[in-house]
Structures are given as C-alpha cells and as structure tokens.
Amino acid sequence: MCDILDRVSVSVQGALFEHSERRELGAGAWIELRSAWAEDADALFEGLLGDTPWRAERRQMYDRVLDVPRLVCFHDLNTEQPPHPAITKVRRRLNDIYAGELGEPFTTAGLCLYRDGADSVAWHGDTIGRSSTEDTMVAIVSLGATRVFALRPRGGGPSLRLPQHHGDLLVMGGSCQRTWEHAVPKTARPRGPRISIQFRPRDVR
C-alpha cells in the first residue's frame, strides 16, 4: 500500500511543486520548494565538486563501524570561509527571504556529495541543540543529478517522495525536524554525482 502511495505522490507532487509553493504538513510543519532557484548552478556544482575538501566518515552501527555512504564537509560561516565564494551569495539570498520568518540568520553550510546511486542518507531529523520543542528551518540547495528526497511522519504514515533537480531549493520549516523524518534513499538506477548544500541556523545539525 505504501509503495502505491509513494508512486502516486511523485506524480501529484510534480504538479504541486511545478512553481514555488509551500505545503503545510500538519502540527506546525511545512515544506517549500523553489524549482531552478540556484543562480549559475552549473558553475557552482563544478566549483564545489573540485574545490571542496571532501572527507569520508565512519560511524558505529550496533557492533560494527561502517563507512558513511557519502562524502561530507561542514562550515561555520561565522568563523570560516566556504569552499566556494558563491555559497556566501546563496546564504545572503536565503537570509533575505527567510531570516525574518525564522527569527535569525542561517549560519552554517553542510555539504554532502552523493557520488552515485549507492550513496544515501538514512531516515533522520536534524538535531536542534537549544530545545527539543523549538521550531527551526533548514534550506537545502540541490546540484547535479536528480535524486529523490523522501519525508515521512515520525511514528508512521504515508511518505512523500520529492525528486530534487539541479538547482532546486527545498526548505523544511516549523516543526518539521521534530515531527517528520527525511532521507535520500539509494537507487539502482544509474546516477551521476549530486551535491546538496544544507543551510542551518546556529545549534542545528
């Protein structure tokens, strides 16, 4: 049943997010997608792919230590320069749009490189270090190959599967990090590299 809902949701959501639109998810959570939002997306992708100091991570999973299936890089934009100057411009643009609603600016940029369809990130919600009941906002710029960005309610329910294209912006706001989980699932279909840039306010990771 969930598979059927997922397949239906892809076609419905394609029409829903053809233009910039916000969707309320309930319990104070919302998502917003702006198609082809990033300026000079091709140049930004190529610059980040070559200039970012990508690193591999390993994590403890039960009784084993496993490779994290993607490469990562994290920058505190208050204290260090990003790997590409365009990130500063993107952050400024996001703050112009969302900082008033958020109540504070975006201060960090986390970058992930999904090298192919085997790279992924498991279901999770970002951690809010200040309060477990606080609302926040996370803005994700997608560059490169199209990948599905999946969301599901914490505790179960139909999932949303949103194809993220080159240059798209996805924003999760309100209670989304507390009441929903998100993931980038693996795919057996051939996929080129994808870079995501996650902009977050302080104490959110």
Cβ 30 vs Cβ 173: under 8 Å: yes
pLDDT value at 136 more than 50: yes
pLDDT value at 128 more than 90: no
How many beta carbons lie within 10 A of that of residue 170, not counting itself? Answer: 22
CA atoms of 197 and 111, how far apart (whole Å) = 5
| Helix intervals (H) in the chain | 2-16, 41-51, 86-102, 176-179
For residues 139-157, give the mean pLDDT.
96
pLDDT value at 139 more than 60: yes
Domains and CATH numbers, the chain: 2-200 (2.60.120.590)
Write down the mean pLDDT value for the chain: 89
The conformation of residue 112, written as its DSSP 8-state character, comes to: E
For residues 136-165, give the mean pLDDT.
96
Name the least confident of 15-19, 33-37, 137-141, 194-198: 15-19
pLDDT in tens, 28-73: 999 999 999 999 999 999 999 999 999 998 776 566 667 789 999 9
| Sheet strands (E) in the chain | 21-26, 29-34, 55-61, 64-76, 108-114, 121-124, 138-144, 147-153, 160-164, 169-174, 180-184, 194-200
What does the block give as tokens for 145?
A: 């190959």
pLDDT value at 95 more than 60: yes
14 vs 112, more confident = 112
Whole-model pTM over 0.85: yes
How many beta carbons lie within 10 A of that of residue 109, not counting itself? Answer: 24
pLDDT value at 14 more than 50: no
